[in-house]
Structure 1
Amino acid sequence: MKRLTLPLLVTLTALPAQAQSDSQPVEPSALSREIAQNGIAPTLERLHALPTPTPDERFAIAGLEFLGAVESAYRWRVSYGIGPVGGMLFGSAADLPQAVPPQPMPPEALARQAEATLAAMDRSRAALDGLAAGAEFGLAISLDDLWFDVDSDGRRSPDEGAAELLDGIIWSSLPGFDFETGEPIPPAALPVIRFDRADAAWLTAYTHLVSGGAELLLAFDPTPSLQKVLSTRARIDESRMAGDEGLLPAMMDDFIDPLAIAIDMLRQQPDAQRTRAARAHWQQTIANNRQFWTLVAQETDNAGEWIPNDAQVSATGIAFPPGTGIAWQAVLADGEALLEGKATIPFWRGPLGIDMGAWLENPAPLPVDGVIQGWAVAGYFSDAPPVNPESFQRFSDMLLDTGPFLAMVMLN
């Protein structure tokens, strides 16, 4: 999962940093208001029942399948009381309201959730199939209308909006304060985005990005490691009932246990079919991203843009300087070279390169001690040149004011 992230969600809630007078405003569609009124799942159910959905309805199906996977990840976390873990897993970085007591987590729960995410990405791609190569369309969505039914009650509560869920990550839902005038500054409304066929290629790329992360997680099969750690944790918790925490305080549990799971997973023999599938998905991410930049370069309008070309302005208020597309595609070309073994990851102990493409094709375990010393990756040492950091540095310098991380999350 990525940057399993919350890829789409983080960018969906980035507020305008400044007024964009050159961008033509657009009105939200009826479908946008339906999402606001009914939520993701009911709207998606209605759209799936359509015998011949239009291109904009197909894009809506794809987008809601993606957002539905985020909603599912939020509910999964609430079910088991899983706190924020820094965006390492899909839908994992937001602070969530814990409205119900958490259940004990079964060891297989993480793998099941990863499989559910893969299925959702498959459904999203099915709806998107052919859209980017077809006729132009437009679907205007107000980002204020997006919300996630985290508690599954069918009603939008004050803390279930996309902006509220990501408060403090990218944008604060709280009003600001003008220290010069002493007056409060109310939060601005989220923008209205008009998604079009170029964005169909962009969303297709994102589904492949997320699918690749899910495949890589499943390649290491988290269930046995979870079984080992959770059963031991249960014994530790039982021993603490007498009131003695031991040498380490209980507050360290949320750091120690996930770390132990990750380290133990990396000792396992990865499933080669899944690592190869991950590589194929990431190669498709790059291909679809290139298709997006080709299509967006052909646009002549400037209304409700998501990611703009050099003559447009993003309705999000995020500044994309001229040449962003070229700079980002250079970064993707480096990623493609790594996937194909034409470039290597520099080894940290000497002038050697690690062939990531070879590992994805025929993977071996990655025990932490062996990776650090080198013996676990020695079979993948290569004479291919190390990946050049210049493209990424050029991109980072160009997007310094915007923030390279936010730009990468948005551009995929």
Structure 2
Amino acid sequence: MKLVSICTAAGLTLLSLGAAWAEPQPVEPSALSREIGERGIAPVLERLHALPSPTADERFAIAGLEFLGAVETAWHWRETYGVRPLGPMIFGFSTDLPEGMEPQPMPPEALADLTEQTLAAMERSRAALAGIGPDEDFGLAISMRDLWFDINGDGKRAESEGAAELLDGVLWSGVTEFDQETGAPIAPELPVIRFDRADAAWLSAYTHLVSGGAELLLAFDPTPSLQRVFAMRERIDKARLNVDPDGMLLPPMADGAIDPIAAAFDMLRRQPDAKRTRAARAHWQQTIAENRRFWTLVGQESDNAGEWIPNDRQVSATGIAFPPGTGAAWQAVLADGEALLKGERSVIFWRAPLGIDLGAWLENPAPLPVDGVIQGWALADYFTDAPPVSPESFDRFADMLTDTGPFLAMVMLN
């Protein structure tokens, strides 16, 4: 969510590995890109699913639109229930959305239902990608100007529903440029991305990343905790009727922070479902495997046309700078993550030189009450002699991506 940038690639010449980078080649949007702009994600996806024998680029389009449709569903869900941004760790929850409809009361089971829908969409995306042969090449050019999300569900594109507006400040600076003569805001020139065989591996990796997070959330089953929090909130709201809020120790404006934190703390006290934590680990291991496959495939490319994430001889059409060596540096970070999942490396405990075996917890999880985690007793069964993971690889990656920003790079690279 987080999948586009506002700038097109500059015509720059840099030296990489002793050879000059090729000038980026312009790419024209495909007919399917224009169809998305005119009709939206869901109608185009429905048409593609009805095809008896979709081509490779149509299969990739199905996979991509399933993923983007899950983002659209999450944003519509947030709009329906008035859910504010909760940070980048929850799929679809990091973006500020335009004010729209009057929020409805949220049923306690709504979050779990949304998460199950997200899991199903990721499965459908991977199923479409599986239909593309290992040696089958394709190219699908999508203009980010055409991409929009039907957040209010009315089937019509509103000015605030374009990818440029929704992701402004998330994947780019959020700074608006103005015409010096008229003072009017200048519409950004959005890139056209040509997705190819390497990007299919990238998308597959991202679906596994999201699926792992969804499985972990469902492992703690948020519904009972939300039931408890919502029931108390209803009682509190009734008690506040006809009472001056200035006389309260905590004003009602604190509700937006207190209630989600209370629900999260209550969830962490629950016994996690081991099947789901193991599924989360398996998905994250596949994320790493598919990401490696992506870098192998993208390293074989010799063109420089509408690149999403480039190799060392290419330039990203998004305008985001990926310096030479980005792929190797990122794979070193993923190797550390893989070692954590396998238990070969540990997470350093914050109170003493003790290691925490993340892989062992995912295999046989226990509750994680916040007080027990901070003090340490809730982690006692997971202390290990495995050496702690070193920050060296991530620090090297972050130093390389100082201009771009390591967080943005991580979002792009998954």
TM-score (norm 1): 0.94
Cα distance in structure 2, aligned partners of 1:367 and 1:322? 43
Q: What is the letter of the counterpart of residue 202 of structure 1? A: W
Q: Find the counterpart in structure 2 of residue 11 from structure 1.
A: 3
Range 12-21 or range 200-209, more displaced: 12-21
Aligned-partner SS, 1:226: helix
Aligned-partner SS, 1:231: helix
Cα distance in structure 2, aligned partners of 1:186 and 1:193? 21
1:333 aligns with 2:335: yes
Residue deviations 1:186-228 (CA, integer Å, cap 9, x gap)? 2421100000000000000000000000000000000010000
Deviation at 1:302, TM superposition (A): 0.6
- Equivalences for 1:5-404 in 2 at 5 Å? 9-16=1-8, 18-19=10-11, 22-129=23-130, 131=132, 133-171=134-172, 175-177=176-178, 186-245=186-245, 246-404=248-406
TM-score (norm 2): 0.94
Deviation at 1:88, TM superposition (A): 3.4
Aligned length: 403
Aligned CA distance change for structure 1 residues 128 and 240 (closer, same or farther; 3 Å): same
Deviation at 1:184, TM superposition (A): 6.3
Aligned-partner SS, 2:2: helix
Cα distance in structure 1, aligned partners of 2:395 and 2:175? 34
Cα distance in structure 2, aligned partners of 1:87 and 1:163? 18
Cα distance in structure 2, aligned partners of 1:168 and 1:230? 32
Deviation at 1:366, TM superposition (A): 0.3
Aligned-partner SS, 1:176: coil
Cα distance in structure 2, aligned partners of 1:227 and 1:142? 43
8 Å CA contact retained: 1:20, 1:317: no
Q: Find the counterpart in structure 2 of residue 4 from structure 1.
A: none
Cα distance in structure 2, aligned partners of 1:13 and 1:323? 21
Cα distance in structure 1, aligned partners of 2:264 and 2:57? 41
Unpaired segments ≥5 residues, structure 2: 14-22
Aligned-partner SS, 1:43: helix
Cα distance in structure 2, aligned partners of 1:133 and 1:346? 40
Unpaired segments ≥5 residues, structure 1: 1-8
Q: What is the letter of the counterpart of residue 405 of structure 1? A: F
Deviation at 1:169, TM superposition (A): 2.5
8 Å CA contact retained: 1:32, 1:142: yes
Deviation at 1:82, TM superposition (A): 0.9
Percent identity over paired residues:
71
